[in-house]
C-alpha cells in the first residue's frame, strides 16, 4: 500500500457511464477520498458505499471529492450506483492496473484490499487506511477527512 507522503500515481479509468476519468481531473475540484473495494453488491462493500453516501453533507461542506475503485465493469458500477443512490464516482479497474499501482491487491494477489486514501489537490497522499473487513474504520476515516480536509484549490 502506498505510504502517507507519497505522490499518488496518475491514472485514467472508465466511470460507471463509460467516460474516462483521470486522477488529475478529479483533483482539479479539490482534495479526494479515493477508496478501493472488492466488489459491487457484496454485503460489506454495499455497507461501506452507503456509509460514505450518508456522509455526503459533511463531505461536500469540506470540499472533498469521492471516488471508488473496484475491478467490476462500468455496467456493474452503474447498476450499483443506481440501486443505492450513490452520489460519487465509481471507477472500473477491470485489469487491476490501478489496484496494483496503489498496492491494494488482496492476499496472494487475489481480490482487492479495502483501502482508503486522502489525496491533496497537489497529488500527495495525506492519509491512508487499510482495514479490510472492518468497514466502520473507513467511514470514520472519511468522517475525519471531512472534519480536517487538506487545502482545496479555493482555500489556497
Burial 127-155 (b: 16+ CB within 10 A, else e): bbbbbbeebeebbebbeebbeebbebeee
Half-sphere exposure (Cβ direction) of 29: Cα atoms closer than 13 Å: 15
State the catalytic residue, choosing from 8, 13, 34, 45. 45
Instruction: Examine the residue annotation and report whether 151 is marked as an active-site residue of this protein.
Output: no
67: three-class secondary structure by DSSP: strand
Residues 6+ apart with CB under 8 A from 107: none
Catalytic residues: 45
Amino acid at each position: 500500500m502506498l505510504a502517507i507522503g507519497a505522490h499518488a500515481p496518475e491514472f485514467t479509468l472508465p466511470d460507471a457511464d463509460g467516460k474516462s476519468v483521470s486522477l488529475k481531473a478529479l483533483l482539479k475540484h479539490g482534495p479526494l477520498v479515493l477508496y478501493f473495494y472488492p466488489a459491487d453488491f457484496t454485503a460489506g462493500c454495499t455497507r461501506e458505499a452507503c456509509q460514505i453516501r450518508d456522509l455526503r453533507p459533511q463531505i461536500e461542506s469540506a470540499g472533498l471529492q469521492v471516488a471508488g475503485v473496484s475491478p467490476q465493469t462500468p455496467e456493474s458500477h452503474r447498476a450499483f450506483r443506481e440501486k443505492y443512490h450513490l452520489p460519487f464516482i465509481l471507477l472500473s479497474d477491470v485489469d487491476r492496473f490501478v489496484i496494483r499501482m496503489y498496492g491494494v491487491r488482496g492476499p496472494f494477489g487475489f481480490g482487492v484490499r479495502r483501502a482508503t486514501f486522502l489525496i491533496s489537490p497537489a497529488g500527495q497522499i495525506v492519509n491512508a487506511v487499510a482495514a479490510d473487513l472492518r468497514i466502520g474504520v473507513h467511514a470514520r476515516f472519511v468522517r475525519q477527512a471531512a472534519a480536517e480536509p487538506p487545502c482545496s484549490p479555493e482555500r489556497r
